[in-house]
Structure 1
């Protein structure tokens, strides 16, 4: 399915603010809380503005597709990482888009390469892993590790994993809109 791209940062952030209040795929936080917590984790880690923005927007595909809280339980994979890249491509370059595109693959990679990673995932994240192809094979691990943005995607994955704490205080969405404005694609 083709989704319309965002053409302004204001349109994107309005959608986040108005549509991000549904629960985040079986977790105890909303889509918006998860986004803000992911961005906060990236910011606290000293990540670049591009990676902070990617952390904030990595799951925007769930919002665009209208993911419901029970979709994962019902076996539905909305391919949110691809949808996010599709709708964000007019606004951002690869420094933002590629970690988003690869964050699901990074989960599969980490499950294949780190023994304790799978057990550290939330129940909902383990359920979605099955829909997303499970842990990578050895050849997939080798190909992923060679990708130019693999390390950024792995970092994003870690921010994603810890961003599920109910009522965690975060800066407001406007704080991250200002950061995202720093990494907008140069429009000609």
Structure 2
């Protein structure tokens, strides 16, 4: 394996860690928290002794913010599994095809791919929907008292997506990099 290939493969450690952490924590939540109720006993009270963060077990059969919740059941696999798989395949293809991505952008791509896979695993293997469990107080901003409940995979996609966007805006590809 060449150094160039190692350089491109290294960020996929993050992909693997995100998938592993996401699925382990979701498994813990499914096993230990009843649906639709904050839980966790004394541990949660000791760690989160305020109204800022709740751990609550909910399921989402749609996508972000429950978009598509009212779609017919037969459309959901195509829109919520096949379409995201195509997007992830394109991201993977672009990741390996281009030499224009910076190291930070490669790690951001890997984080987005890991989060995407984490939620697709739920959509395929959890018929009750994607496991969400983090609820954060939002103080009425944008009309939300609490931000919609999310999980590690969601957080990874959002954080890495913002990081990727900022690096593209702040550090656009250099002309010499695009001329290759």
TM bin (shorter chain) = under 0.3
With the length of structure 2 as denominator, give the TM-score of the two structures.
0.25
Larger fraction in strand: 2
